């Protein structure tokens, strides 16, 4: 093993230890006891289009597994904002994906965060939030804010395959589930389209 690979392996072990510690401390506020695998990250980024600029936002970036995959796949003129409330996780996500703007913030402040950056439309949302565990009022407010930003597709990770299909059908007209067994624990991605709300005007990334 080269020195670079050894360093990367040690960094990944450090990420896993941090994730487990946070999970034990915070319980359901952390979506899983381990970072998303590269297989789950790749599945989550299906809608990231390398052929055209997109406005992308990631909710619950964690240590940056999905952030890294999205930044590597997206068009050079795309913009990716990764939101993470935990400063320790956010620092690792920023290191993992320098092309992304990693913001330490709570999703409760999502509307203000987007307004401050002049973002009135989104093309896609990558979500690592423990969405079913969010307070219902907050969950509905987050989905309403996203719907108001143009009806983006939403790719939501889960470690409980198929269980919450009905929940996402409440907010989206089309929901497809993609299982990802090569993840710890086994999980998958809900690919959601067609928010049940009207869309505003288009804004081009700049």
Q: What is the pLDDT of residues 186-201, one digit of tens each?
A: 999 999 998 876 443 3
What pLDDT is stored for residue 202 in this prediction?
A: 35
Residue 184 pLDDT exceeds 90: no
Structure tokens at 88: 């320790």
Tell me the CATH number of domain 37-195, given options 3.40.50.150, 3.40.50.2000, 3.40.50.11540, 1.10.10.10.
Answer: 3.40.50.150
Judge whether 66 and 157 are in contact, CB under 8 Å: yes
Residue given tokens 């969405």 in the structure block: 131
Nearest to 41 by CA among 108, 96, 99: 96
Rounded alpha-carbon distances, angstroms, from residue 120 to 29, 109, 164: 28, 15, 29
pTM (2 d.p.): 0.82
Handedness of CA 22, 108, 197, 51 (dihedral sign): negative
In this structure, are strands 187-195 and 172-180 parallel, antiparallel, or unpaired?
Answer: antiparallel
Band (pLDDT 50/70/90 cuts) for residue 15 is low
Percent of the chain at pLDDT above 70?
79
Band (pLDDT 50/70/90 cuts) for residue 160 is confident
Nearest to 156 by CA among 136, 180, 184: 180
Judge whether 162 and 190 are in contact, CB under 8 Å: no
Residue 55 pLDDT exceeds 80: yes
Q: How many residues are listed for the chain in this entry?
A: 206
Q: What is the pLDDT of residues 61-117, one digit of tens each?
A: 998 999 999 999 999 999 999 999 999 999 999 999 999 999 999 999 999 999 999
Q: Using CA atoms, how far apart are residues 122 and 87, in angstroms rounded to an integer?
A: 25
CA 81 to chain centre: 10
Judge whether 40 and 183 are in contact, CB under 8 Å: yes
Q: What is the pLDDT of residues 28-37, one digit of tens each?
A: 555 555 678 8
Where exactly are the structural domains of the chain? 37-195
């Amino acid at each position: 093993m080269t020195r670079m690979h050894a360093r990367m392996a040690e960094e990944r072990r450090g990420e896993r230890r941090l994730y487990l510690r946070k999970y034990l401390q915070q319980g359901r506020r952390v979506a899983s006891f381990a970072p998303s695998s590269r297989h789950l990250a790749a599945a989550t980024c299906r809608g990231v289009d390398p052929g055209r600029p997109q406005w992308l936002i990631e909710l619950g970036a964690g240590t940056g597994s999905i952030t890294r995959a999205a930044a590597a796949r997206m068009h050079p003129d795309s913009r990716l904002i990764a939101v993470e409330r935990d400063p320790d996780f956010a620092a690792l996500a920023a290191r993992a994906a320098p092309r992304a703007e990693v913001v330490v913030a709570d999703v409760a402040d999502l509307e203000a965060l987007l307004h401050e950056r002049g973002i009135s439309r989104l093309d896609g949302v990558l979500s690592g939030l423990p969405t079913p565990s969010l307070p219902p009022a907050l969950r509905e407010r987050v989905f309403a804010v996203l719907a108001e930003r143009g009806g983006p597709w939403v790719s939501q990770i889960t470690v409980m395959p198929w269980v919450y299909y009905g929940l996402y059908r409440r907010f989206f007209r089309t929901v497809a589930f993609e299982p990802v067994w090569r993840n710890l624990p086994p999980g998958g991605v809900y690919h959601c389209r067609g928010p049940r709300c009207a869309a505003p005007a288009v804004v081009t990334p700049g």
